[in-house]
Every structure is written in C-alpha cells, then in structure tokens.
Structure 1
Amino acid sequence: MAVCVAVIAKENYPLYIKAASADSELKFYYTVHTSLDVIEEKVSSAGKNANELRELYLGLLYPTEDYKVYGYVTNTKIKFVIVVESSNSTLRDNEIRSMFKKLHNAYVDMLCNPFYTPGENITSKVFNNTVISMMQE
C-alpha cells in the first residue's frame, strides 16, 4: 500500500522515515520535506476557526505524477506523512484514515516506553514492524 511513511517532529525534523525501497529513499526524503509546507498551510488555515475541533487527518496534501502524499497531524503537532503510488487507485479515503490511525496508535505505544525520550529518532522495532506491515498490505 504505502511506499513511504514518515514521522516529523513539531520542529519539522524527521524522527522516522521508511521507504519501501532503499534505492528511492533520497527521493522520498525530498517528497516528505516538500509536504511540510502544505501541512503548515492546512494547519494554520484550520486554526483560524477556533470554534471547530481541528481534524487530525489532513487528507491529500498533493499528488505527483507517480505518487499521492497524505498528511496527519496529532494534537502535539507531530506530523505523519504517508506516500502511496498514484497507480493504486483502489485506495479509498477511509483506508488511508485507518492507516494513519494504525500509525498513530503505534506511535503512542512507542511513546509509552519509559526508555524513549520524546524528540529522539524512533528506533523501536515494534514501530518499525508496524510500518513495514503497512507497506506490505
């Protein structure tokens, strides 16, 4: 399903980036980095309406010729980015949402580890296995 999954800190540095193939990893670093501007724009425009609850799922950030980039922001401003192939048109919005929910739950479980310091790179094997399973579905 996913070809790249990234977790970005609230200060916009990567905590975790996993690409399906090591050959295209640098390309996905660039793709994730360029999506941060779109995320900030969507979050700031949603923040102007203070009466409404902010939606965590940002939806499609932007499509490219080969990929579609989706975003999600937690209440603590941690950003999740999932890149899927554009040719995979069978993915529905609710499937993308469930992928983000699964990723968010894995992230929260990883945060509960007393040996993890928030803000450090994510090295959890359980979190990594969850991401790999998302890429193989």
Structure 2
Amino acid sequence: MRTQFTSSRRKEDQAYQHQFILHAALDVVQDLAWATSLFLKSVDRFNDLVVSVYITAGHTRFMLLHDSRSEDGIKSFFQEVHELYIKIFLNPLYLPGSRITSSHFNTKVRALARKYL
C-alpha cells in the first residue's frame, strides 16, 4: 500500500514541478516573443529537462517540456500541432482565446507526440 501512495504522490509532485518549470520559462519566452516567431528551440533548462517553444505569427505560444535531444522531431511536432491549431482556430464555433476542449484535437496531438517525440 505504501509504495502505491508514494509513487502516486511522486507523480503528483512531478506534475507540479513540470508546471513550475514551464511557468518560469514564460519570462524568457515573453522577451523573445516580440523579437522572433516560430521555433525557438530550447529556451530554458532544469536538471535534465528542456523547455522548447514555438511561437505563431499571432504570438500564441506552444511550450514543450521534454528530455529528448531530437530538435528535428520537436520542430516537426510543433509545425503539425500549429496546423491543427489553425484548423481549430478557423472553426466558426471556436471562441478565440478559449480553451480547446476537442477530444479529436487531443487525440491528434498525442499521436503526433508518439510519432515525433
């Protein structure tokens, strides 16, 4: 019983730590967002984790926390997620700035992650 509680708690702590790392990287991204667009590669590091960012022309930020070294795979992942995002954005029922709740979008992003990451 104790090992289940410990591993569950560890996963929860790790999820909070990942959120903290991404939020901390937002400061760096904010500074770079107005100077450039598209793939920024790695903008921040924490231990063995890397934060990579893709910024659209409309300044929407896609952030990925990963431990992988394949920049080509990460760039391809971001480009295809950007295409999916544009399709969602062009939907007349989507309210810009609102949360994307489409299960189809979620499934496609997860499939792209398995493919490229």
TM-score for the superposition, normalised by structure 1:
0.67
Is residue 56 of structure 1 aligned with residue 38 of structure 2? yes
Could you report, residue by residue, the CA deviation over 1:23-79 in whole angstroms, capped at 9, with x for unpaired residues? 3332222122111111112234x2xxxxxxx44111111122131110111111110
Q: Which residue of 2 aligns with 1:77?
A: 59
> In the TM superposition, what are the counterparts of 1:1-137 in structure 2 within 5 Å?
23=12, 24-44=14-34, 46=35, 54-85=36-67, 88-89=68-69, 91=70, 93-137=71-115
**More strand as a share of residues:** 1
Specify which structure has the higher proportion of helix: 2
Amino-acid identity (%)? 27
Structure 1 unmatched runs, 5+:
1-21, 47-53
* Structure 2 residue runs without a partner (length 5+): 1-10
Whether the 8 Å CA contact 2:53–2:64 is kept in 1: the answer is: yes
Q: CA RMSD in A?
A: 1.8
Task: Please identify, of 111-120 and 127-136, the stretch whose mean Cα deviation from structure 2 is larger.
Answer: 127-136
Question: Would you identify which runs of 4 or more consecutive aligned residues in structure 1 move more than 6 Å?
Answer: none
- Counterpart-to-counterpart distance in 1, 2:15 and 2:88: 24
CA distance in 2, matches of 1:36, 1:28: 13
Count of residues in Structure 1 that have an aligned counterpart in Structure 2: 104
State the distance in 1 between where 2:112 and 2:15 align: 17
* TM-score relative to the length of structure 2: 0.77
Higher relative contact order (CA 8 A, sep 6+): 1
